[in-house]
Amino acid sequence: MRRQPKQQRSKLIVRDIVQAAREHLSEHGLDGFNTSAVANRTGVSVGTMYQYFENKEQLLDAVSLALAEEIKDQLDLVASSEMLSGFRDFSHVLISSVIFYVNSQPLLIRALLSSDGERRLSIAADKIEGHFTDLFRSYALQHHAELPNTNLPSAVFVVFTSILAVALRMQLVRKPGIDHEAVTSMLVESALATVFGSSYTAP
């Protein structure tokens, strides 16, 4: 971002620009993405928009980060549920939430991946992964005396990377006969084995 907003009004303008960019990208894809159209949708001049975003790439980066924040909020919501009955249930709701969120916004995800996608995906993934690790650690320590896997960040890195790869693969290559619930259950068992060890049985 070219200029960080400090006043509340500026923060609201940036929020609206990013939301407008996201909506425009979802509707028209990357090929139809136009900064002038984003400015018009926001109700600001192109000059005002460029006060905060130097170019289209910075604006797309901001959309990626906003998407990451939404996923983090969704993870917080499901992780705080009092209906969870154990670590397996906890893992299931986190993993299914990521898969559902990625698959619920096909045009937006495809557009973000089609332009400098690897770097942009890394920006968003890093933000979500850190939060994912914190949630895993917090829940695990709350419900277990100790974690068998002392290198939790590495374990969660493997788990989260697997989840994201599967979610994106399901989004980009829609194969018939793929059962989302079955895929989620397999990822849950893989996550438990990675975090707790293959011989550990988590509730």
Task: Confirm if 33 and 63 have CB atoms less than 8 A apart.
Answer: no
Assess if CATH 1.10.357.10 describes domain 63-196: yes
Task: Confirm if 112 and 105 have CB atoms less than 8 A apart.
Answer: no
What is the tens place of the pLDDT at every residue in 31-60?
888 899 999 999 999 999 988 898 888 899
User: Residues 93, 154, 71, 77: is their CA dihedral positive or negative?
Assistant: positive
Position 154 scores a pLDDT of: 84
Residue 158, CA atoms < 13 Å, CB-side half-sphere: 13
Assess if CATH 1.10.10.60 describes domain 1-54: yes
Categorize the per-residue pLDDT at 179 as very low, low, confident or very high, splitting at 50, 70 and 90: confident
- Ranges of each domain in the chain: 1-54, 63-196
For 69-73, 143-147, 149-153, 168-172, which range has the lowest pLDDT when averaged over its residues?
143-147
Q: Which two tokens stand for residue 14?
A: 């940036």
CA distances from 49 to 23, 30, 60, 62, 115 (A): 16, 18, 13, 13, 20
